[in-house]
Amino acid sequence: MYQEALVSTLVFGITVFQGGCASLPIVVNTWPWPQATDAAWAELSRQSANALDAVQAGCKRCQDDQCDGTVGFGGSPDENGETTLDAMIMDGTTMNMGAVGALRRVKDAIGVARSVLDHTEHSMLVGDFATDFAIENGFPEESLSTNESRSMWEHWKKNNCQPNYRIDTVPDASNSCGPYKPRSSEYTMPRPAGSSVNIDETNHDTIGMVAIDATGKIAAGTSTNGMNHKVPGRVGDSPIPGAGAYADDDVGAAVATGDGDVMMRFLPAYQIVESMRQGMTAESAAREALARILKRYPKFSGALVGVSKTGEIGAACTGFGNFAFCVRTPESGATQIQQVICS
Ligand code: ASP
């Protein structure tokens, strides 16, 4: 049963996840946001249970709650002070998906992503055109700014726009605000390998969620407001299939959180699913996908979670002390928060 199979031990006061099998149905999501797990679970418990609806409901709950300020409205103001949203939802039965990138002035990013899935043949819409689509589909247009996001932005402006993500600019972005132009030089200094200068535990996070219903249908999704002080127009890994999330009923699913600019170069969610397809456990697959990133970006910071189609879970992380994620199955009773210690 779940208690025996999902092995945890207490080390230094942390409940440490060591990989293991749960049972179906199952909901797993990044970070200690059990209200999202419970919202997804409630959806899975309905008679017409549907993994896609569960993922949508779980991510929406975090958007509404502004989980950690990094999901939903009112967080991560960009250089202009605006919050923009990335989200995706993927159906592992049909391999269909819907996503939005840099969505402006609409709060329910996962809902709009679901509309892209349900009401278009496209996979992703971005920016103002995604907003137009959302409005057509009945989503209200409203500001995503809050007093908190305004004050974060003002504080950043007063701090000479530090930190930021610009490189090799005039004026020098390491000690000034824009507008920036490229530094005109025949040779531009490459950023040192493996650096990820602006990422820390406080300025980003994503809800990444996997749901498998009792019949084995799998869905995965993400929702985030991205990175604090990002360059306007920046889209992270979260809406990119195979980067932020991936699902395939034949194998399982995976989700990612962390430095999305680096992660999207490695498609770690896809990698985990493909490694599981080749026979790896979820845990080995997550570790191996992380190792591929760390080999090239040793200072990378992020966490990956894989879930096999039978409900076996594996997680791996780096750059944080530890990484917490939520799991709910019929045997778990309530949602359990599990942790892995990061490499
Ligand atoms: N991956 C997200 C992004 O890059 C942020 C996070 O999950 O921490 O937008």
Residue 284 included in any domain: yes
Look up the domain containing 301 and give its range: 3-67+88-95+205-341
pLDDT in tens, the chain (343 residues): 233 233 343 333 344 555 666 689 999 999 999 999 999 999 999 988 899 999 999 999 999 999 999 999 999 999 999 999 999 999 999 999 999 999 999 999 999 999 999 999 999 999 999 999 999 999 999 999 999 999 999 999 999 999 999 999 999 999 999 999 998 765 555 555 544 555 555 566 999 999 999 999 999 999 999 999 999 999 999 999 999 999 999 999 999 999 999 999 999 999 999 999 999 999 999 999 999 999 999 999 999 999 999 999 999 999 999 999 999 999 998 999 999 999 9
| pLDDT, position 281 | 97
Task: Judge if the beta carbon of residue 101 lies within 6 A of ligand 1.
Answer: no
Residue 197 included in any domain: no
Ligand 1 pocket test target in 31, 165, 206 with most atoms within 8 Å of CB: 206
CA distance linking residue 253 with residue 32, whole number of Å: 19
What CATH number should be reported for the domain holding residue 304?
3.60.20.30
Number of domains in the chain: 1
The angle at the Cα of 324, spanning 322 to 325, to the nearest 5 degrees, equals 150
Residue 196 included in any domain: no
Q: Judge contact between 178 and 161, C-beta under 8 A.
A: yes
Q: Judge contact between 284 and 274, C-beta under 8 A.
A: no
Catalytic residue check, 9: no
| pLDDT, position 198 | 53
Which helix or strand (DSSP H or E) is residue 257 part of?
strand 252-258
> What atom in ligand 1 is closest to the CA of residue 204?
8
Residue 39 included in any domain: yes
Residue 216 included in any domain: yes
CA distance linking residue 104 with residue 101, whole number of Å: 9
CA distance linking residue 137 with residue 192, whole number of Å: 45
Task: Judge if the beta carbon of residue 228 lies within 6 A of ligand 1.
Answer: no
Residue 325 included in any domain: yes
Which residues have C-beta within 8 Å of that of residue 266, sequence separation ≥ 6?
243, 289, 292, 293
> Residue 231 has which token pair?
């360059």
Catalytic option among 84, 131, 206, 329:
206
Task: Judge if the beta carbon of residue 204 lies within 6 A of ligand 1.
Answer: yes
Residue 19 included in any domain: yes
CA gyration radius for the chain? 19
Task: Judge if the beta carbon of residue 226 lies within 6 A of ligand 1.
Answer: yes
Residue 224 included in any domain: yes
